[in-house]
Amino acid sequence: MANSPQAKKRARQNDRRAAINKNRRSRIRTFVRNVEEAIASGDQAAAAAALKVAQPEIMRGVSKGITHKNTAARKISRLAARVKALG
């Protein structure tokens, strides 16, 4: 349990930051799921459009420290390959 004022403040900051990170991670997953649903439906145009919207959101997660740069690049690359394979 935090006893000093500094530790109490740190605990508050950590809780706030964790909530923000959780929301961002959830938002990224939603965009990725939209792309995967479009791929599953077999509509390349819709999948490409969903990917175009998801890419900046995934990379924003990198700049905010949610995911690693290579992880995000790998996700985008694999989604793009799957969208391309629909054509």
Q: What is the pLDDT of residues 6-34, one digit of tens each?
A: 999 999 999 999 999 999 999 999 999 99
Which residues does 8 contact at the CB level (< 8 Å), separation at least 6? 2
The whole-chain average pLDDT of the chain stands at 96
State the CATH number of the domain containing residue 32. 1.20.58.110
CA–CA separation, 43 and 38 (whole Å): 6
- How much of the chain, in percent, has pLDDT values that exceed 70? 100
35 has a pLDDT exceeding 80: yes
Domain count along the chain: 1
Q: How many whole angstroms separate alpha carbon 33 and alpha carbon 53?
A: 12
Residue 85 token pair: 């394979």
What's the confidence (pLDDT) of residue 17?
97
DSSP 80: H
Q: Which domain holds residue 70?
A: 5-86
Residue with tokens 């500094």: 6
**Would you state the structure tokens that stand for residue 72, as one six-digit string?**
């995000």
